[in-house]
């Protein structure tokens, strides 16, 4: 029986046998029986990491430690509200920080704790604990973001088309009308 530790673009944590290309965490979400409780985060630090780093191997749900989560790819992790790890994905993290700095018009490079605080407010409503989405015009979105169209969550925007997402990968591209209104899953 697979553990409940695969993350969908909507931020939901599901039991699925696949591992994906990245791992990450949101703190310790599991109990002694390796089942998730009601909490879907214990920290505002939501990161995504490489699967193999320095040959380290660990239990995905050790007692009292962080719960290892798995993502199909980076687009899925970003849509769920995670950012690149500053240790195992240093180059990706520095690119992310620079894009954040430029996008927010900051003179200095932001610290991880500052970005995490802003991201947390953009990714989940603390009262309902649901993912925050925003309406957007499809033609204005960059490649790599995830959207919901007509209730179908997890569509990757890919150069004027969208590709349906699943835990097993992406489906074939479908046309996306530039004027279509979609729900943006990826935090701004």
Digit-coded pLDDT (tens) for 8-64: 998 888 899 887 899 998 877 777 888 877 777 677 788 999 987 677 677 777 787
Percent over 90 (pLDDT), the chain: 52
pTM, to two decimals: 0.90
pLDDT tens across 132-179, in order? Answer: 889 999 999 999 999 998 877 789 998 889 999 999 999 999 998 889
| Contact indicator for 131, 116 with CB cutoff of 8 Å | no
Is the Cβ–Cβ distance between 81 and 124 less than 8 Å?
A: yes
Q: How far is CA 99 from the centre of its chain?
A: 17
Q: Alpha helix locations (H) across 61-186?
A: 74-79, 90-103, 112-123
What's the confidence (pLDDT) of residue 159? 81
Token pair, residue 84, equals 């690149």
| Other C-beta atoms lying within 10 Å of the C-beta of residue 140 | 10
Tens digits of residue pLDDT in 73-116:
999 999 999 999 999 999 999 999 999 999 999 999 999 999 99
Q: Which residues contact 152 (CB under 8 A, 6 or more apart)?
A: 164
Q: Which of 133, 121, 16, 123 is nearest to 69 (CA)?
A: 16
d(CA 143, CA 81): 17
pLDDT of res. 62: 72
Taking Cα atoms as reference points, which of 61, 73, 51 lies closest to residue 166?
73
**Parallel, antiparallel or unpaired: strands 83-84 and 152-157:** unpaired
């Amino acid at each position: 029986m697979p553990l409940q530790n695969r993350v969908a673009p909507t931020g939901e944590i599901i039991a699925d046998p696949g591992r994906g290309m990245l791992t990450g965490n949101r703190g310790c979400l599991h109990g002694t029986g390796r089942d998730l409780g009601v909490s879907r985060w214990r920290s505002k630090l939501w990161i995504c990491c490489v699967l193999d780093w320095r040959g380290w191997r660990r239990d995905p749900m050790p007692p009292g430690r962080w719960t290892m989560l798995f993502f199909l790819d980076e687009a899925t992790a970003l849509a769920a509200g995670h950012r690149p790890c500053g240790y195992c994905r240093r180059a990706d993290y520095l690119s992310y920080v620079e894009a954040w700095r430029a996008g927010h018009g900051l003179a200095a490079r932001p610290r991880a704790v500052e970005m995490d605080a802003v991201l947390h407010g953009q990714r989940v409503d603390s009262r309902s604990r649901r993912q925050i989405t925003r309406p957007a015009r499809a033609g204005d979105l960059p490649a790599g973001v995830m959207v919901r169209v007509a209730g179908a969550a997890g569509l990757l925007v890919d150069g004027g088309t969208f590709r349906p997402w699943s835990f097993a990968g992406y489906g074939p591209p479908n046309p996306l009308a530039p004027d279509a209104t979609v729900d943006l899953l990826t935090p701004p």
